Amino acid sequence: MSGATLPTHFSPPHAHCGIVPPYLLQRIAQLDDPRFQAASRAAKRSLMSDIPLRDRGRGPYRPPRTNLLPDEATEPGSPRRSISDCGGDENLPGRLIRSEGQPDVGDPAVNEAYTGLGQTYALYWERFGRNSIDGEGLPLDASVHYGQRYDNAFWDGSRMVFGDGDGEVFNRFTISMNVIGHELTHGVTQFSANLTYQGQSGALNESVSDVFGSLVEQHAKGQSASEASWLIGEGLFTDQVQGVALRSMKAPGTAYDDDVLGKDPQPATMAGYVETTDDNGGVHLNSGIPNRAFFLLADALGGVAWESPGQIWYDTLTGGSLAVDVDFAGFARATLDAAARRFGDGSREHAATREAWTTVGVDVGGAAE
């Protein structure tokens, strides 16, 4: 076993963090519409499948692998990917289909997962100097074709898992690169700030995954902040749904407006903050507020968002100053401190960070927690 040490506040995660919010799956499960019979059945199965995952958390903690076996060792900057096929079962990991360096296979889900893992590794290594999810070269493993029409994708603490979708509401979950980046970033958070998946710290956990998931896609496509869609899960909905994505960072609350699924419920500012006991205290709802703050910062600074804005958020997440239960105000102040340390107090980046949080109604007075 590696001799790597954990953050002093580390505790194993106890939340199952799927890309599809439970309130949306519950809505689909309750549908009584002949157009969505398969979707309703699939949502019910997905919710039932998620119960043991939520009960056991996201699997036992897998520590940073600083001492890889000789046949596993790779140079920093080189990902080590493996993609397995569950074949419609829920037994992980499934049958190994593609390993690092092997060519495309005839399965789009396998190829999309392989590419998405690689692009996520590339963003973290090339832009932030982070060697994989744990910073220590953790192999990137994924399983596709999980379950029967499983309507979700998740990070289980050691690997990515993708369902195929129901075909009526959802397409396959490998189709969106930022979904892959989002879920792997739950791993980055797990190995760094370990934000509690409840209330505002849980919404920040979700938001950080949206931020870096979006940056993975923008980096892969070479997009500027103005060129990016800022949509999370674009392409997941079939053409039967009136919607473009699960969430919009640019305009929370506008990602979908469907006569069957309802309207995207995310608030964009603290004026719309949702007090609820559902969804771990609204983690997928209120994440729209810090998401909007990041977009506003990236929009104000222009250029590519993985540079100054992404660096500020990365420094904040990995800097060691965040309490595991940090609230929006504490996180906002920490981003201000990170901007001041890297770019200077009163710099353009520092001022734009303050303005972004102020615009969404988050108090940025005082020092970081």
Which residues are known to be catalytic? 183, 284
Contact residues for 41 (Cβ-Cβ < 8 A; gap 6+)? 149, 166
Run of H or E residues at 360: none
Q: Strand 95-99's sheet: what is its strand order?
A: 95-99, 81-85, 140-144, 160-162, 153-155
Q: Which of 201, 123, 149 is nearest to 20 (CA)?
A: 149
Do 356 and 299 form a contact (C-beta atoms < 8 A)?
Answer: no
- The CA-atom distances, in angstroms, between 308 and each of 127, 194, 297, 303, 352 are 10, 23, 9, 9, 11
Do 180 and 213 form a contact (C-beta atoms < 8 A)?
Answer: yes
Do 63 and 2 form a contact (C-beta atoms < 8 A)?
Answer: yes
CA 178/CA 232 separation, integer angstroms: 6
Pair of tokens at residue 313: 């958020």
